[in-house]
Amino acid sequence: MFPAKQIDKRASNGLQVAVWTDSETVCCLADEERHLGHIVRAGGNWLAFDATHLNDHGTSFRCLGCCTTITLAKFAVERVFGEVRAMTATLQ
């Protein structure tokens, strides 16, 4: 099994912690309130998904891409929320 990794996420109600829950084929990132994203093993690659946005057709989660390692796939999901956190800090 892969070790769970925690990332901080700022929200309007204070600091929340998003945690990875890992298995051999699927890993999910969630905080206390939301499923934020997940990655799925597809052969020798990992597909990364943003679970907070729909795809362009409105039929499924937004696919962030195909990655060669689990680390890169997790980074793709985490990057979405790092960008949101940076934008939130500049809003007034």
- Please state, in angstroms and rounded to a whole number, the distance separating the CA atoms of residues 92 and 83: 17
- Please state, in angstroms and rounded to a whole number, the distance separating the CA atoms of residues 47 and 26: 10
Residue with tokens 């989660």: 61
Amino acid residing at 68: T
Give the model confidence (pLDDT) of 67-92 as tens digits.
999 999 999 999 987 765 554 444 33
Against a cut of 0.75, is the pTM above it?
A: no
Q: What string of H, E and C letters represents the secondary structure of 17-47?
A: EEEEEECCCEEEEECCCCEEEEEEEECCEEE
Give the model confidence (pLDDT) of 48-69 as tens digits.
999 988 788 888 899 999 999 9
Residue 60's pLDDT is: 84
